[in-house]
A and B are shown apart, each in its own frame.
Chain A
Amino acid sequence: GAGVSQTPSNKVTEKGKYVELRCDPISGHTALYWYRQSLGQGPEFLIYFQGTGAADDSGLPNDRFFAVRPEGSVSTLKIQRTERGDSAVYLCASSFGGQGASPLHFGNGTRLTVT
Protein backbone atom coordinates (compact mmCIF):
# COMPACT_ATOMS: atom_id res chain seq x y z
CA GLY A 1 0.00 0.00 0.00
CA ALA A 2 0.91 3.65 -0.19
CA GLY A 3 3.38 4.93 2.33
CA VAL A 4 3.74 8.36 3.91
CA SER A 5 3.97 11.00 1.20
CA GLN A 6 5.69 14.35 1.67
CA THR A 7 5.67 17.26 -0.73
CA PRO A 8 7.68 18.97 -1.98
CA SER A 9 10.77 16.78 -1.76
CA ASN A 10 12.97 19.87 -1.98
CA LYS A 11 12.24 23.49 -1.19
CA VAL A 12 14.58 26.44 -1.60
CA THR A 13 13.41 29.74 -0.20
CA GLU A 14 14.84 33.11 0.68
CA LYS A 15 15.34 34.24 4.24
CA GLY A 16 12.18 35.88 5.56
CA LYS A 17 9.76 34.01 3.30
CA TYR A 18 6.87 31.78 4.37
CA VAL A 19 6.84 28.05 3.52
CA GLU A 20 4.37 25.19 3.83
CA LEU A 21 5.35 21.54 3.92
CA ARG A 22 2.72 18.88 3.33
CA CYS A 23 2.38 15.36 4.70
CA ASP A 24 -0.10 12.69 3.62
CA PRO A 25 0.00 9.81 6.14
CA ILE A 26 -0.77 6.14 5.68
CA SER A 27 -4.51 5.57 5.48
CA GLY A 28 -5.92 4.51 8.85
CA HIS A 29 -3.06 5.93 10.89
CA THR A 30 -4.47 8.24 13.55
CA ALA A 31 -1.16 9.57 14.86
CA LEU A 32 1.03 11.91 12.84
CA TYR A 33 4.44 13.28 13.80
CA TRP A 34 6.75 15.96 12.48
CA TYR A 35 10.50 15.72 13.02
CA ARG A 36 13.46 17.79 11.88
CA GLN A 37 16.79 16.21 10.97
CA SER A 38 20.01 18.12 10.54
CA LEU A 39 23.05 16.64 8.83
CA GLY A 40 24.69 13.96 10.95
CA GLN A 41 21.99 14.09 13.61
CA GLY A 42 19.02 11.99 14.58
CA PRO A 43 15.44 13.14 14.06
CA GLU A 44 14.39 15.87 16.49
CA PHE A 45 10.77 15.89 17.65
CA LEU A 46 8.63 18.89 16.67
CA ILE A 47 4.95 18.05 17.12
CA TYR A 48 2.59 15.09 17.38
CA PHE A 49 -1.09 14.88 16.38
CA GLN A 50 -3.63 12.35 17.56
CA GLY A 51 -6.53 12.83 15.18
CA THR A 52 -7.08 16.51 14.47
CA GLY A 53 -5.59 17.89 17.66
CA ALA A 54 -1.97 18.54 18.54
CA ALA A 55 -1.33 16.20 21.45
CA ASP A 56 2.19 17.52 22.05
CA ASP A 57 3.79 20.54 20.39
CA SER A 58 6.62 20.94 22.87
CA GLY A 59 9.27 20.48 20.19
CA LEU A 60 8.31 23.45 18.05
CA PRO A 61 11.33 25.76 18.40
CA ASN A 62 9.43 29.06 18.44
CA ASP A 63 6.19 30.74 17.34
CA ARG A 64 7.34 30.94 13.72
CA PHE A 65 6.52 27.24 13.45
CA PHE A 66 2.95 26.00 13.30
CA ALA A 67 1.27 22.79 12.13
CA VAL A 68 -2.31 21.80 11.39
CA ARG A 69 -4.23 18.64 10.62
CA PRO A 70 -7.78 19.89 10.10
CA GLU A 71 -9.47 16.66 9.01
CA GLY A 72 -7.32 14.18 10.86
CA SER A 73 -5.44 13.05 7.78
CA VAL A 74 -3.19 15.41 5.78
CA SER A 75 -0.99 17.74 7.81
CA THR A 76 0.79 20.96 6.91
CA LEU A 77 3.84 22.34 8.70
CA LYS A 78 4.04 26.10 8.30
CA ILE A 79 7.15 28.19 8.88
CA GLN A 80 6.93 31.98 8.91
CA ARG A 81 9.81 34.43 8.39
CA THR A 82 12.24 31.63 7.58
CA GLU A 83 15.82 31.85 8.84
CA ARG A 84 18.96 30.16 7.55
CA GLY A 85 19.02 28.05 10.72
CA ASP A 86 15.71 26.47 9.65
CA SER A 87 17.52 24.63 6.85
CA ALA A 88 17.14 20.90 7.48
CA VAL A 89 15.23 17.83 6.34
CA TYR A 90 11.69 17.87 7.72
CA LEU A 91 10.34 14.38 8.29
CA CYS A 92 6.76 13.30 8.69
CA ALA A 93 5.77 9.96 10.18
CA SER A 94 2.50 8.25 11.02
CA SER A 95 1.40 5.34 13.17
CA PHE A 96 -1.71 3.68 14.59
CA GLY A 97 -1.03 5.60 17.80
CA GLY A 98 -2.37 4.84 21.24
CA GLN A 99 -0.02 1.89 21.62
CA GLY A 100 3.60 2.05 22.68
CA ALA A 101 4.58 -0.75 20.33
CA SER A 102 3.14 0.85 17.19
CA PRO A 103 6.18 1.97 15.18
CA LEU A 104 6.52 5.13 13.16
CA HIS A 105 6.41 4.93 9.36
CA PHE A 106 8.40 7.75 7.81
CA GLY A 107 8.10 9.66 4.58
CA ASN A 108 11.20 10.53 2.57
CA GLY A 109 11.23 14.07 3.94
CA THR A 110 11.30 17.59 2.59
CA ARG A 111 14.75 19.14 2.31
CA LEU A 112 14.36 22.83 3.14
CA THR A 113 17.13 25.23 2.20
CA VAL A 114 16.89 28.85 3.32
CA THR A 115 19.25 31.14 1.42
Chain B
Amino acid sequence: GDSVTQMEGPVTLSEEAFLTINCTYTATGYPSLFWYVQYPGEGLQLLLKATKADDKGSNKGFEATYRKETTSFHLEKGSVQVSDSAVYFCALNDFNKFYFGSGTKLNVKP
Protein backbone atom coordinates (compact mmCIF):
# COMPACT_ATOMS: atom_id res chain seq x y z
CA GLY B 1 0.00 0.00 0.00
CA ASP B 2 0.87 3.68 -0.11
CA SER B 3 3.15 5.12 2.55
CA VAL B 4 5.45 8.03 3.38
CA THR B 5 8.73 7.79 5.26
CA GLN B 6 10.53 10.83 6.55
CA MET B 7 13.63 11.32 8.62
CA GLU B 8 13.25 11.19 12.35
CA GLY B 9 13.82 14.26 14.41
CA PRO B 10 14.35 16.36 16.18
CA VAL B 11 16.61 18.31 13.89
CA THR B 12 18.43 21.13 15.67
CA LEU B 13 20.12 23.87 13.62
CA SER B 14 21.58 27.29 14.21
CA GLU B 15 19.99 30.27 12.54
CA GLU B 16 21.06 30.71 8.87
CA ALA B 17 22.05 27.03 8.54
CA PHE B 18 21.02 24.91 5.54
CA LEU B 19 18.09 22.57 6.07
CA THR B 20 17.27 19.25 4.46
CA ILE B 21 14.47 16.98 5.65
CA ASN B 22 14.34 13.71 3.73
CA CYS B 23 11.10 12.19 2.52
CA THR B 24 10.52 9.07 0.43
CA TYR B 25 7.27 7.52 -0.64
CA THR B 26 5.61 4.39 -1.96
CA ALA B 27 2.53 4.74 -4.13
CA THR B 28 0.45 2.56 -6.41
CA GLY B 29 -0.68 5.41 -8.66
CA TYR B 30 0.76 8.76 -9.71
CA PRO B 31 0.51 10.79 -6.53
CA SER B 32 0.68 14.49 -5.82
CA LEU B 33 3.17 15.34 -3.08
CA PHE B 34 2.92 17.88 -0.28
CA TRP B 35 4.76 19.33 2.68
CA TYR B 36 2.69 20.53 5.61
CA VAL B 37 3.94 22.49 8.62
CA GLN B 38 2.58 22.63 12.16
CA TYR B 39 3.76 25.58 14.24
CA PRO B 40 3.53 25.30 18.03
CA GLY B 41 -0.09 25.53 19.16
CA GLU B 42 -1.44 25.74 15.61
CA GLY B 43 -3.06 23.43 13.07
CA LEU B 44 -1.50 21.83 10.02
CA GLN B 45 -0.87 24.25 7.16
CA LEU B 46 0.09 23.56 3.58
CA LEU B 47 3.68 24.64 2.92
CA LEU B 48 4.17 23.56 -0.69
CA LYS B 49 3.13 20.96 -3.24
CA ALA B 50 4.15 19.30 -6.50
CA THR B 51 1.81 17.42 -8.79
CA LYS B 52 4.06 15.54 -11.24
CA ALA B 53 7.59 14.30 -11.74
CA ASP B 54 10.31 16.99 -11.84
CA ASP B 55 7.93 19.67 -10.54
CA LYS B 56 9.44 21.93 -7.88
CA GLY B 57 7.22 23.31 -5.15
CA SER B 58 8.36 26.41 -3.27
CA ASN B 59 7.09 28.75 -0.59
CA LYS B 60 8.62 30.98 2.13
CA GLY B 61 12.13 30.05 0.99
CA PHE B 62 11.43 26.30 1.22
CA GLU B 63 11.74 24.06 -1.85
CA ALA B 64 11.10 20.44 -2.72
CA THR B 65 11.45 18.63 -6.05
CA TYR B 66 9.30 15.63 -7.06
CA ARG B 67 11.82 12.91 -7.97
CA LYS B 68 10.04 9.93 -9.47
CA GLU B 69 13.21 7.96 -10.12
CA THR B 70 14.15 8.00 -6.43
CA THR B 71 10.55 8.31 -5.12
CA SER B 72 11.63 11.26 -3.02
CA PHE B 73 10.43 14.75 -2.13
CA HIS B 74 13.11 16.21 0.15
CA LEU B 75 12.44 19.57 1.79
CA GLU B 76 15.23 22.18 1.67
CA LYS B 77 15.84 25.73 2.81
CA GLY B 78 19.04 27.66 2.32
CA SER B 79 18.96 29.71 5.52
CA VAL B 80 16.62 28.82 8.37
CA GLN B 81 15.23 31.28 10.90
CA VAL B 82 14.11 30.81 14.49
CA SER B 83 10.53 31.31 13.25
CA ASP B 84 10.87 28.12 11.14
CA SER B 85 10.84 26.02 14.30
CA ALA B 86 7.91 23.64 13.81
CA VAL B 87 6.98 20.08 12.90
CA TYR B 88 7.11 19.28 9.18
CA PHE B 89 5.02 16.53 7.58
CA CYS B 90 5.53 15.02 4.15
CA ALA B 91 2.34 13.73 2.50
CA LEU B 92 1.04 12.20 -0.72
CA ASN B 93 -2.38 12.10 -2.36
CA ASP B 94 -3.13 8.96 -4.32
CA PHE B 95 -6.70 8.40 -5.56
CA ASN B 96 -7.97 11.16 -3.27
CA LYS B 97 -6.55 9.52 -0.16
CA PHE B 98 -3.84 11.41 1.72
CA TYR B 99 -1.02 9.61 3.53
CA PHE B 100 1.27 11.40 5.97
CA GLY B 101 4.71 10.75 7.33
CA SER B 102 5.31 10.75 11.07
CA GLY B 103 6.66 14.30 11.11
CA THR B 104 10.09 15.86 11.70
CA LYS B 105 10.50 18.41 14.45
CA LEU B 106 12.84 21.29 13.60
CA ASN B 107 14.40 23.43 16.31
CA VAL B 108 16.28 26.53 15.16
CA LYS B 109 18.50 28.22 17.74
CA PRO B 110 19.47 31.91 17.55
Chain A residues whose C-beta falls within 8 Å of the C-beta of B45 in the assembled complex: 106
Which A residues are CB-close (under 8 A) to B32?
A: 100-101
Inter-chain contact B100/A101, CB cutoff 8 Å: no
| Interface size range on A against B | 20 to 34
Cβ–Cβ < 8 Å partners of A72 in chain B:
none
Residues of B within 8 A of A45 (CB): 97-99
- A48 / chain B contacts, CB cutoff of 8 Å: 96-97
CB < 8 Å neighbour of A107 from B4, B31, B43: B43
Question: Of B91, B97, B101, which is in contact with the most chain A CB atoms at under 10 Å from its CB?
Answer: B97
B46 adjacent to chain A (CB < 8 Å): yes
Residues of chain A with a CB closer than 8 A to B89's CB: 42-43
How many A-B contacts are there with CB distance less than 8 Å? 60
Within 8 A of B (CB), among A59-115: 91, 93, 97-98, 100-101, 103-109
- What 0/1 pattern do residues 30 to 71 of B give for CB contact below 8 A with A? 111010100000111110010100000000000000000000
List of B residues within 8 angstroms of A107 by Cβ: 43
**Nearest-CB distance from B51 to chain A (Å)?**
4
Query: Known contacts being A43-B44, A106-B43, A108-B42, is A100 close to B96, with CB within 8 Å?
Result: yes
Contact of B51 among A41, A91, A98, A100 (CB under 8 A): A100
Assess whether B43 is in contact with A43, with CB atoms less than 8 Å apart: no
CB under 8 Å from chain B, chain A span 16-47: 31, 33, 35, 40-45
Give the residue of B30, B31, B49, B100 whose beta carbon is less than 8 angstroms from that of A42.
Answer: B100
